Amino acid sequence: MSISVPAPVRGFFRRHPRLTRALELAVRPFEAASKKVVFGCKMCGQCILHETGMTCPMGCPKTLRNGPCGGVRMDGRCEVIPGMMCVWVKAERRSRWLPWGGAILKVQPALDWSGAGSSAWINVLADRQGKEAS
Amino acid sequence: MTRPIAPVLRLEEAFRSGLPVVTCEIATGDGADPDEVLRRVRLVRDHVDAVNVPDNTAGIVHMAAWAAAALLAREGVDPIMHVTCRDRNRMALQSDLLGAAALGVRNILCLTGDHMVHGDHPGAKPVFDLDSLQLVSLATVLRHGRYLSGREIRPAPALFPGATENPFAPPYDFRPLRLQKKVEAGARFIQTQITFNVKRFAAFMERVRDLGLDRTVPILAGVAPVRSARSARYMRERVPGMEVPDAIVRRMEQAGSERARREDEGIRICVEIIEQLREVRGLAGFHLLPIHWEEAVAEIASRARLTPARASLSAHVEATARDAGSADARRDDREGALLNRHREHRA
């Protein structure tokens, strides 16, 4: 994750796994509900919204995290769901408005599916993804 | 002692020569008959440096790409195996790449894959565990002797990973940047989507040159012959990510329905596009996609004077040898010099 969390915070969460788990249980429904309404969040557990122009890449039928596929229609719509605008067409457009829009150029590693369903917020604070999460 | 000139130049060496490279995609056939694959590859092998083998293209099931690619390798043709993320997760992808490398398949083209909704099994479960860019990274990790898990591979597969880019699909401004990301992830060569709109392709390449990518990675422009007005219309309307200008559809309609005439017109358009693309700076060669029409490749190669790098190199070395009489040392010298010159150019 590119959001840097101060070492003492990470350390705190590392030292208190049970507290982290309790906090996660409390935060998760709130995170899921709010991000679902605003961004169509799929709770992948490794949020990169801020690097994709605040557009959730998991809404892409191919769940592409590094850019659009070659099948985007000429009008910018998705090849799989013609009624939907391509997630990456939106991401590219929106990232131009963000001061940190260049983050869209970052090469995103493969998603750790063992962390799917967990709270990305807590994962960032605890500096973890995947296995240990959820 | 005369050293025979290698009849097959590995794709990587062909690129290193700096000479124009030609590749071609063939159909792998619907059945389990190896002769069908070999029949198609024999129609194109003399005109190209390497042959692409698609992986369930358009989401329609065909013979496995690794098997078809291995058949080609056995025939002495350097295959480029397409690998898509649609049907396999990261574990299957890794074992497939290792297996392919063991069968002599080194060049792999990393693709996202056409979605199955357009294919013959729309109800299949989409995998897309990785995306094409992560697949390039994966191939690079394997090449350097590690699995994605970090575990060591001995020996590491000598993979030569490539990627694609489609300059004809939105967001147009992002396409060159996506190409840059793929190069960063480890792509060693690029093959593009079929070019019908040369103007848009030239604009794309201008941005690619600005980013300096043409000097970092060889880029092959995709070109294809259209066989009929019907197929031109089909590509324009039904194939997402394909841009066929109305002018081309009109020309094909004017050519009529008589087979010889419309096919001749299709080849003529393809050759014209190749000629126009030769004016675009920064290209390393051409990638032909005859779409089940491998018979057209010889005609296109002859009319457009497309010569694979290995043929140019052999001709060059032979000419040098004739000039120098029997001085073998000098032949090696010249060949080396040619390779070095282009290495410097690329550096």
Interface test with B, best of A96, A107, A108 (most B CBs within 10 A): A107
Share of chain B above pLDDT 90, in %: 84
Does the pLDDT value for residue A70 go beyond 90? yes
Question: Is A64 found in the same domain as A53?
Answer: yes
Question: Is A106 found in the same domain as A52?
Answer: yes
Query: In angstroms, how far is the first alpha carbon of chain A from the final one?
Result: 17
Question: Is A52 found in the same domain as A97?
Answer: yes
What residue ranges do the domains of chain B occupy?
1-20+307-347, 21-305
Using a CB-CB cut-off of 8 Å, the residues of chain B touching A113 are 129
Give the per-residue pLDDT at A123: 87
3-state secondary structure A99-129: CCHHHHHCCCCCCCHHHCCCCHHHHHHCCCC
Which of B129, B171, B243 lies nearest to residue A68, judging by beta carbons? B171
How long, in residues, is chain A? 134
Longest dimension (CA), chain B: 66
Give the per-residue pLDDT at B319: 81
Residue B87 DSSP SS3: coil
Number of domains in chain A: 2
C-alpha–C-alpha distance, residues B21 and B307, integer Å? 8
Is the entire prediction scored with pTM above 0.80? yes
Question: Is A121 found in the same domain as A84?
Answer: no
Residue-averaged pLDDT of chain A: 89
Closest Cα partner for A111 from A1, A23, A21, A15?
A1
| ipTM at complex level | 0.89
Domain B21-305 fold is: TIM Barrel (3.20.20)
Amino acid at A39: F
Question: Is A103 found in the same domain as A53?
Answer: yes
pLDDT tens digits for range B100-113: 999 999 999 999 99
C-alpha–C-alpha distance, residues B157 and B142, integer Å? 7
Query: In angstroms, how far is the first alpha carbon of chain B from the final one?
Result: 34
Using a CB-CB cut-off of 8 Å, the residues of chain B touching A73 are 169-170, 240-241
Does the pLDDT value for residue B321 go beyond 60? yes
Give the per-residue pLDDT at B325: 58
Residue-averaged pLDDT of chain B: 91
Please give, rounded to a whole number of angstroms, the shortest distance from the CA of B187 to a CA of chain A.
13
Closest Cα partner for B19 from B224, B320, B283?
B283
C-alpha–C-alpha distance, residues B163 and A89, integer Å? 21
Helices (H), strands (E): how many in chain B? 13, 8
Question: Is A119 found in the same domain as A95?
Answer: no
Pairing of strands B285-288, B21-25: parallel
pLDDT tens digits for range B279-291: 999 999 999 999 9
Question: Is A26 found in the same domain as A6?
Answer: yes
Give yes or no for a contact between B52 and B287, defined as CB atoms under 8 angstroms apart.
yes
- Domain with A104, as residue range(s), is 48-110
Give the per-residue pLDDT at A13: 85
Q: What are phi and psi for residue A80, nearest 5 degrees?
A: -90, -45
Question: Is A64 found in the same domain as A33?
Answer: no
Return all residues near B125 (Cβ < 8 A) that are at least 6 apart: none
Using a CB-CB cut-off of 8 Å, the residues of chain B touching A112 are none
